[in-house]
A and B are shown apart, each in its own frame.
Chain A
């Protein structure tokens, strides 16, 4: 089972918190919206990713398990 980050684009308001909390997984585009690498998260980062998803002010960041 692997975990990936997903963005609900209809909710994201470019607060940018996710890029601060997960600098290795999330960068920001020129308008401040997250760019995800789309790769499965390394196990060691899943906890931080879950926290980042919970911290998203717009509830736009999600962690999906496949």
Chain B
């Protein structure tokens, strides 16, 4: 049982490298309505053509994990626009905290983005779906204090990993089970209330908020030509400053993680393991090409004092238990993968590794959503990156280090 004590409300600590855009003014705590206007200027509601032009020139991509270009999402909506605009603030990736922190500290930026898109698309409904309680309160307070946002609905999103997937979220909001559909229909065709919907992640809307207040030129002045502007990162594990940090695109990952060669996870629990930050830079295309997609912006480093394979096993067991229970290969395959990884940790060596690889190959791509695919990527890359650890475990039945639990599993804390 969880006992809720009466704690003083504390605000998350955030940092930035360079000049903060999204997190401007948050050093003093949450940015209220008047301060928000001082910092970013008035909201200019764009036409669809204006919005399309600016997001294309800003090369803005979705910040929920798939990095889909926003102008293409706009283009795939019907000529008459969208029925609804949905801010996906569920942030069900447990390693990620950037969206809830953003909504707690700069909720008006998210509201501005949602209002801008809703105006451009003529959307009748604007829904902000949030799972984190504090972030939900912050969004509700922001909306309640704005006459221009009277029609914006702030709703509690279901918990659970898969429930945060865009189509699952839309099903939940439309009054049916919060599960992904068996047929892969896009929300731009069939979304909220089974009608065309523009849905994106909370940070995406905050970036859109910058475009409709600060304007395009300010975004173009930061980052790289390929990817202007900044992005939010959740830093975890054995790093100097764990937490959420805003950085310009193009910085070296080593600037965030340090240069030590201990295992690094890029992208989150559907992401990939690499031996260290190396010379990689924050460039979504380059990272995807290198087989380490940026995902939801999570970077984690394991310290030298924890059992790396044990940390991996802990997350895999957790992921296996997060199946929505719809698709057989996920329901049966992921627990089998988790068991096989446990064998590797106990020193099963090459035989156990082969079994993991076979099982991972069996679940990859065989589900209604990307949960089995992402879990496969996490496990496959871990075994490649930690091959030395696998040998040590095989030789000695373990590595002698405890599993410290450096990767969070409940989405709470911090």
Spell out A's residues near B (CB within 8 Å): 7-14, 29-33, 35, 60
**Contact between chains at A10 and B326 (CB < 8 Å):** yes
Q: Say yes or no: is B333 at the interface (Cβ < 8 Å to chain A).
A: yes
Which chain A residues lie closer than 8 Å to B336 at the CB level? Answer: 30
Minimum Cβ distance to chain A for residue B344 (Å): 19
Spell out B's residues near A (CB within 8 Å): 179-183, 326-330, 332-333, 336, 362, 366-368
Known: A8-B182, A10-B368. 5 other contacts (CB 8 A): A8-B368, A9-B368, A10-B179, A12-B327, A32-B328
**Contact between chains at B328 and A14 (CB < 8 Å):** yes
**Contact between chains at A33 and B183 (CB < 8 Å):** no
A29 to B180, CA, bound (A): 23
Minimum Cβ distance to chain A for residue B171 (Å): 11
**Contact between chains at A10 and B362 (CB < 8 Å):** no
**Contact between chains at B366 and A33 (CB < 8 Å):** yes
**Contact between chains at B328 and A13 (CB < 8 Å):** yes
**Contact between chains at B362 and A29 (CB < 8 Å):** yes
Which chain A residues lie closer than 8 Å to B326 at the CB level? Answer: 9-10
A29 to B183, CA, bound (A): 22
Q: Which of B179, B330, B366 has the most chain A CB within a 10 Å cutoff?
A: B366
Minimum Cβ distance to chain A for residue B239 (Å): 38
Minimum Cβ distance to chain A for residue B185 (Å): 12
Minimum Cβ distance to chain B for residue A37 (Å): 13
For the complex of A and B, the 5 pairs showing the least CB-CB separation, nearest first, are A10-B182, A9-B327, A8-B182, A31-B332, A33-B328
Which residue on B lies nearest to A6, using beta carbons?
A: B183
